[in-house]
Amino acid sequence: MTDSSSGQIDHVLIEDRLFPPPAEFSQQAVFSSQAQYESMYRRAAEQPEEFWRSEALEHLHWFEPFDEVCRWDPPHAEWFVHGKTNASYNCLDRHIDAGRGDRTAIIWEGEPGDERTLSYAELRSEVSKCAAGLKQLGISAGDVVSIYMPMTPELAIAMLACARIGAVHSVIFAGFSAESIADRNNDAGAKLVITADGLYRRGKVLPLKETVDEALAKSPTVEHCLVLRRVGNDDVSMTQPRDVWWHDVVDTQSDDFPAVPMDSEASLFILYTSGSTGKPKGIRHTTAGYNLWAKRTFEWVFDHREDDIFWCTADCGWITGHSYIVYGPLSAGATCLMYEGAPNFPAEDRFWELVEKYKVTILYTAPTAIRAFIKWGDEHVDKHDLSSLRLLGSVGEGINPEAWMWYHKKIGNERCPIVDTWWQTETGGIMMSPLPGITATKPGSCTRPLPGVVPVIVDETGNAVDDQHGGMLCISKPWPGMLRGIWGDEDRFVQQYWSTVPGKYLTGDNARKDSDGYYWIMGRIDDVINVSGHRLSTIEVESALCSHEAVCEAAVVGRPDELKGQAIAAFVTIRDREPDEALRQELLLHVRKQIGALAQPDDLRFTSTLPKTRSGKIMRRLLRDIASGNEVAGDTSTLEDLTVLAKLRDDEG
Ligand code: WTA
């Protein structure tokens, strides 16, 4: 333990299991030796210009060459200056030009079980038609288009059609309220909204168009609304001449709309993400750098091969869907599975049914889903043949070691490497991750940075902390996929990401580097608790709780305490046991044994669910309010239902 007045964070949980990559995996992998990674990492760090020049020339199509690799005027970076490319060209035409147009791009399954397959050539035809339709609706390069759609191929088609003509898409997750859509339309000055007549969710139809109508009443910049018929809902109201049907405006167009050469730094998209306070911010990504980053990180981390069927279970409403359903895999010429619906419809085995049916080889999902599967029970997994899988990925939150172990054993059958990928909406693509052919993994660690990523962990004064100590994770060098700004709010961009440690990008996460050079994300900076002068990371206490067999999920927060500064409050969901006082004591003792008396929660409450953001992250901020507001109820055996509270917080991203 260290002197915590230094601003470092104490690291208390020991995890020493190590899983080397299986030999048969390594033999055929993209990265097959540690030396190969080391030398690539060194080149990217020491000669970034040369490294990224050759990457960009090899991996993107250039209508006009760039004349400078990176212009870095902190905090502003421009990549591949003055070059002209097009992300839709890189995702589609490039493969067709190379004679690979017949390859399957997207295999799609709707929630009701309907299926569609699109080859690269077919996808380009659809994208071209949509691009021409957008043009007809008066959209041109630089205009913002909001997309509020179900996870249908048309969602990806709409994104790529925007890219094809240089319009800037702003995808809004189709669970957001009318208020949130209007806020985003107004902040971005959107000219068009693309939506559908409805969305299937657990067998029911959600009236998307109705929600959009409500938003449009408060979105003065929007001129048109393009509506896809997805559910056959004839009740939708179409306001003339504002609203038009996809089948009238898109399906009737010619299918050879050429991609428009776009400046490397032209905005490709905005994606709104909630900040720790206040209104959501529109993270702005640009064309060439983002596209290259999405493609290369996809190929490196997922060890992409010709015969892979890649399934990223995210929604395109989040950055994970942007980078690893659309831009990354399609630029790489991969075959992706895209699924529209819920993981537990019609039953809790839907994901495993899909893996078996489509022989998915790579599965990329989130800890929140993994913890739900654990709770639903192994029998749903056992019904299916998952032998096609060769690689598993995780993203979105820290994965507690026990959830990692379940994923490894139950889904990966102890033969599939797990890539725990750390990154953010702002970073555009994966920043730290195991490389599955070479990295020995440790449950709960995102291991090491990818080539081009130079992390540093600092204390509150901006000085680098020693290995083994936690501090604020920063990135010290620009990388191609980095955000270029917050839409319309330069001050917030500078203030939020670049002021704490001048010249370095502040991620907002805490992390620690161990003696092997592996990184461990310790949660958001706000999630550190200070107990009797010891600064602890809540995720370590949560992981200790999760290592008890009865615990499914745990969220730990601090609440003010006169004696200790902060006291530890834990919220726990359980399985296969009665939530009684005996179990409560058992769990407290368990943490004490795992970490020490210091980390033993002062309050421990059982709950049936934890409040989560719409992208599935536990909302510790809300739990902090609960923990400090009301005193712990005397009767600890009742399960609280915190979903109600989550529902109240509609706008969390
Ligand atoms: C968290 C998602 C630990 C982290 C791509 C980050 C993670 C935030 C991991 C970004 C991981 C994401 N381990 N924490 N593997 N992946 N996070 O913008 O706090 O939705 O800053 O991007 O999620 O979330 P976002």
Task: Give residue 652's pLDDT.
Answer: 38
Name residue 269's beta-bridge partners.
169, 285
Per-residue pLDDT, averaged over 131-154, amounts to 98
- Compute the distance from residue 108 Cα to the ligand 1 centre, in Å: 26
Question: Which secondary-structure segment (H or E) carries 497?
Answer: helix 490-498
Question: Is residue 120 within 8 Å of 103, Cβ to Cβ?
Answer: yes
Task: Give residue 136's pLDDT.
Answer: 98
- Compute the distance from residue 341 Cα to the ligand 1 centre, in Å: 23
Per-residue pLDDT, averaged over 610-631, amounts to 81
Per-residue pLDDT, averaged over 144-160, amounts to 98
3-state secondary structure of 471: strand
Task: Give residue 603's pLDDT.
Answer: 92
Mutate to test the pocket of ligand 1, among 318, 422, 524, 525 (most ligand atoms within 8 A of CB): 422
Nearest CA to ligand 1 atom 13: 398
The ligand 1 atom nearest the CA atom of 433: 15
Is the per-residue pLDDT at 1 higher than 50? no
What is the torsion angle, in degrees rounded to the nearest 10, for the CA atoms of residue 519, residue 524, residue 344 and residue 178? -140
**Cα–Cα distance between 435 and 333 in angstroms, integer?**
20
Mean pLDDT of the chain: 92
pLDDT band with cut points at 50, 70 and 90 for residue 643 = low
**Cα–Cα distance between 423 and 230 in angstroms, integer?**
33
**Cα–Cα distance between 617 and 39 in angstroms, integer?**
36
**Cα–Cα distance between 437 and 417 in angstroms, integer?**
8
Is the per-residue pLDDT at 653 higher than 60? no
The token pair at 580 is: 């009684």
Residue 202 marked ligand-binding: yes
Q: Which residue has the higher pLDDT, 235 or 38?
A: 38
Task: Give residue 624's pLDDT.
Answer: 87
Task: Give residue 616's pLDDT.
Answer: 84
Nearest CA to ligand 1 atom 25: 424
pLDDT band with cut points at 50, 70 and 90 for residue 113 = very high
List Cβ neighbours of 129 (8 Å cut-off, separation of 6 or more).
250, 251, 252, 253, 254, 255, 257
Nearest CA to ligand 1 atom 4: 397
- Compute the distance from residue 393 Cα to the ligand 1 centre, in Å: 13
- Compute the distance from residue 300 Cα to the ligand 1 centre, in Å: 19
3-state secondary structure of 317: coil
Name residue 485's beta-bridge partners.
284
Q: Which residue has the higher pLDDT, 191 or 235?
A: 191
Pairing of strands 281-286, 485-486: antiparallel
The ligand 1 atom nearest the CA atom of 426: 18
CA angle centred on 403, ends 402 and 404, rounded to 5°: 85
**Cα–Cα distance between 503 and 108 in angstroms, integer?**
43
The length of the chain is 653
Q: Which of 391, 458, 395 is nearest to 423 (CA)?
A: 395
Backbone angles phi, psi at 554, to 5 degrees: -140, 140
Task: Identify the structural domains of the chain with CATH numbers, from first to last.
Answer: 548-650 (3.30.300.30)
Residues with CB under 6 A from ligand 1: 273, 318-320, 395-398, 420-425, 446, 507-509, 521, 524, 615
ipTM over 0.90: yes
Global pTM?
0.92
Is the per-residue pLDDT at 532 higher than 90? no
Residue 613 marked ligand-binding: no
Question: Is residue 216 within 8 Å of 236, Cβ to Cβ?
Answer: no
Is the per-residue pLDDT at 646 higher than 90? no
Is the per-residue pLDDT at 275 higher than 90? no
Residue with tokens 């996870």: 151
Pairing of strands 603-609, 640-641: parallel
- Compute the distance from residue 505 Cα to the ligand 1 centre, in Å: 15
Q: Which of 373, 406, 395, 370 is nearest to 301 (CA)?
A: 395
